[in-house]
Chain A
């Protein structure tokens, strides 16, 4: 069974600075997808960024980028120029398509606070 570990329960960063959230996962699969989801206090989960394991190039979405190290099974999220609106829970998630199943396996999350 796949597992996802986020070792930082809470983090804080000053506005406009850069922060990196860590995520490691365990799988014996070769083809899979990795995601970072954001869950603001209102609780609506929003996709931040996704990475396909067969792609070597790290995904980037505006201020958000990932460092995907497949051999190390590591998938960290870097947030540049942090904004107050980035304050939220961040979940790392793993997905492997199997027989139509697209189950997302989530880590426990990292609570990020951006301070003014």
Chain B
């Protein structure tokens, strides 16, 4: 079974530029998450999708961050314009909620963003 795929793995941009990250979840997983992991901290949820609908985006800085999952499969996360403090690893995760309540989230390798 293929895992969660993310691209690019690394990205370096200058502040005020735009950047986009792509995620393809595990096949059949209805739920997709984007987390931001700043160096030295644990991941923080930015947004959760259930199929193509947003379930939780309470911690997404909506003035500069946007995310979509149009067909309920892969997803893109965009930052426009980027700030220095956006330097972080962006992790995508997916899960398949079953009637047994199994709620393990499977993580991708992440995209390391450096904003100069």
Contact = CB atoms under 8 A, between A and B. Distances in A.
Nearest to A109: B42
Contacts, number: 60
Interface string B12-38: 000000000000000000010101000
B55 A47 contact: no
Contacts of B31: 102
Interface string A33-52: 10001000011111100101
Interface stretch (A11-19, A58-66, A71-79, A89-97): A89-97
Contact of B55 (A4, A45, A101, A104): A101
Contact of B42 (A4, A43, A102, A103): A4
A97 B97 CA distance: 11
A108 B40 contact: yes
B55 A100 contact: yes
Nearest to B31: A102
B41 interface: yes
14 contacts: A43-B89, A43-B109, A44-B108, A45-B43, A47-B106, A97-B103, A101-B48, A101-B56, A103-B45, A103-B48, A104-B33, A106-B41, A109-B41, A109-B42
Interface of B: 3, 31, 33, 35, 40-45, 48, 50, 55-56, 89, 91, 93, 95, 97, 101, 103-110
